[in-house]
Amino acid sequence: MAVYLIPCQSSPGPAKARLGQNTLPKSIARKALVGNQSVKASFPAGPAEILSRKQVPILCYHQIRDYRPSDSKSARDYIVPVAVFQAQMKMLADSGYHTILPDQLYDYLTQNKPLPSRPVMLTFDDTDYGQYTEGLPVLKKYGFKGVFFIMTVSINRPHYMTSAQIREISDAGNVIGSHTWDHHNVKKYQGKDWEIQLDKPTRQLESITGKPIRYFAYPFGLWNKQAIPELKKRKFLAAFQLITKRDDQEPLYTIRRMIVPGTWSIPTLYHSMNRNF
């Protein structure tokens, strides 16, 4: 957590620097005198300022595999054939996109820290095995990094990633986030659901990766205002929904993403990224 140096003066006379008290309006930078040094203090942006920043395209993937005859039409919206995924990543690389990770997005939104040119975030939900076998090699090929939101009930099960694979993904510089225990709708949580769906998965993922888990993706992209204090209480820095409107007061906990259907052409993906963000 950042420590701010704040000039504070309760009566006429020299201002004294005080640690840890942000008494000035947010998003204002002022100078504090510490000894003989002039230190610039910056403050996290408020909701209006965060909402005013240009949104970064955030793509959401689920399964990366070829279609099967048994796949329904609706299921294909969540499946991206291997060759299509490869072509999409090539388009991003050829178009000059650079992948960013959640800490970079958080710093951009709250502190207006610069991002690389043409930033994009790649996110992967539900722990599907194809994300590791098919997706990860393509990311490595283009020097891309991604965010993998893990549903912990599926770890080590057939067709899903193992603990060792999740650790490998994390060690390679990608980010592991929480996607609950069993994909239960956040809008229906009550009582011990918060412990089951948030606390236990966080501890498990931190044990696997050896790193703090600070980002969350809502199952189905569905959220409500009651969930946000629970996420804050557990020190999540931000949470990701899908394409609906961000909350006016809590934009960090309603960051928008776009599911990429495997049926989209490359031009459709490109134009959707530019139109929706």
Provide the residue ranges of all domains of the chain, joining segments of one domain with +: 5-41, 47-276
Q: Give percent of the chain with pLDDT exceeding 70.
A: 85
The structure tokens listed for 128 are: 């599907």
Question: In whole angstroms, what is the distance from residue 49 CA to residue 41 CA?
Answer: 17
Nearest to 234 by CA among 187, 208, 200, 207: 200
The structure tokens listed for 80 are: 């991206």
pLDDT given for residue 169 in this prediction:
98
pLDDT given for residue 82 in this prediction:
98
Residue 247 has pLDDT above 50, yes or no: yes
- How far are the Cα atoms of 39, 77, 90, 240, 251 from residue 30, in angstroms, in the given order? 8, 49, 44, 32, 25
**Mean pLDDT of all residues in the chain?**
88
164 pLDDT band (50/70/90 cuts)? very high
Of 21-30, 66-75, 165-174, which range is least confident? 21-30
Nearest to 162 by CA among 139, 129, 207: 129
54-94 tens-digit pLDDT: 999 999 999 999 999 999 988 888 999 999 999 999 999 99
Residue 3 has pLDDT above 90, yes or no: no
Does residue 209 contact residue 169 with C-beta atoms inside 8 Å? no
> What's the rounded mean pLDDT across residues 240-250?
97
43 pLDDT band (50/70/90 cuts)? confident
Residue 23 has pLDDT above 80, yes or no: no
> What's the rounded mean pLDDT across residues 160-167?
98
146-161 tens-digit pLDDT: 999 999 999 999 999 9
5 pLDDT band (50/70/90 cuts)? very low
126-144 tens-digit pLDDT: 999 999 999 999 999 999 9
Nearest to 172 by CA among 207, 204, 141, 215: 141
Of 1.10.10.10, 3.20.20.370, 3.40.50.150, 1.50.10.20, the CATH number of 47-276 is 3.20.20.370
